[in-house]
Amino acid sequence: MKKAIAAALLLIVSVTVIPAVPVCISGKNDVSAGGTIQLKEFRFDDDKVSKKTVFSGEPYKVLDVESGEVMEVPVRDYVIGAVCAEMPADFGEEALKAQAVAAHTYAERRRISERSSPTAELRGADFSNDTAKYQGFFTKEKAKECFGEKFSENYTKIAAAADEVLPFIITYEDAPIIAAFHSMSPGFTESAENVWGASVDYLVEVDSRSDLTAPHFREKKEYTQEELKAALEAAFPGIVLGDDIKKWIEVLTTSDPGTVLTASVGNMTVTGGELRDALGLRSASFEYAADSSGAVITTKGFGHGVGMSQYGANAMAAAGKSWREIIEHYYPGCTVTGS
């Protein structure tokens, strides 16, 4: 029962917060625009492909939020388009394959969810192309716009990676998993329980220390006293900050990987995630420092930190690891299931 409740809670969460921010928003394909967890001993058997879960090869129904049209997108086109949107094309092929399997898994889980409990605003679709709520997805036309003169090279590379793994998704107890992913962790990925308040057996803390060398791993965000005051008061109505800016934000508890779990903000106690949202921080793993001239918040990593780290996956690919080994590492205890 506990597993069922946790899975139900995370299924709700997955609609709005699991996808990483697409890697190409304004014609760029880099980390500045990107970003889109104790390791269990687990031997991943490449030949152990469960046949119990049968997933559909039918086209996905995608609501175009601009036109209101529900598009039918073949599975292959959707998976390629999701990888185009969610991972830099210059990443290693095995990382791209792992991303493709995660993207396919996400879509299958969403399809199952919508068939059992439809969302009225989707108008019969499985999900929409609203990246604030669902996994990123590019049509071929959008990919051309994003990649520019590198479109042919990048699209061909991503399509080849997707084609190799298209028959596979990731399952746990014969169901598609919550295939959470993020740009880069603060050194260890986070548990779903710490981030979203619901325990999921395979979304747990995993060593991802290769992220420490990722571009922009540590970033500083500066605020004047007036800017910080305005942002905090807007996010937390009724808050009383006091006169000493040094005490406006104080970290109270952190997880083992370093994510801020709770912090005092003036006279209130909030979560690290709430503070991240309020201030537009890259992650909830941060340090706060302030003096009379203003404040500086230094973040580590990029994203919610749960599931697969994309930069960690790329580092594993560069070290010669396969897409299956990447999935084994970031989703321990899960199974690769073939159609």
Q: Measure CA 112 to chain center.
A: 20
Task: Determine the pLDDT at residue 53.
Answer: 56
| Cα–Cα distance, 251 to 269 (Å, whole number) | 10
Q: Name the residue ranges covered by the structural domains of the chain.
A: 2-213+304-338, 218-300
What's the residue count for the chain? 339
Task: Determine the pLDDT at residue 207.
Answer: 98
| Cα–Cα distance, 108 to 177 (Å, whole number) | 9
Question: Residue-wise pLDDT tens for the chain (339 aa)?
Answer: 344 434 444 444 443 333 444 445 333 333 333 333 222 222 223 333 333 455 778 999 999 999 999 999 999 999 999 999 999 999 999 999 999 999 999 999 999 999 999 999 999 999 999 988 999 999 999 999 999 999 999 999 999 999 999 999 999 999 999 999 999 999 999 999 999 999 999 999 999 999 999 999 999 999 999 999 999 999 999 999 999 999 999 999 999 999 999 999 999 999 999 999 999 999 999 999 999 999 999 999 999 999 999 999 999 999 999 999 999 999 999 999 997
Task: Determine the pLDDT at residue 104.
Answer: 97
| Cα–Cα distance, 8 to 197 (Å, whole number) | 12
pTM, whole model, 2 decimals? Answer: 0.85
Count of alpha carbons within 13 Å of 23, Cβ hemisphere only? 22
Instruction: Kindly state the DSSP code that residue 184 receives in the 8-state scheme.
Output: B
| Cα–Cα distance, 208 to 37 (Å, whole number) | 7
Task: Determine the pLDDT at residue 332.
Answer: 98
* Strand order through the sheet with 168-172: 175-176, 168-172, 335-338
Task: Determine the pLDDT at residue 131.
Answer: 85
* Strand order through the sheet with 249-254: 249-254, 260-265, 268-271
| Cα–Cα distance, 75 to 62 (Å, whole number) | 11
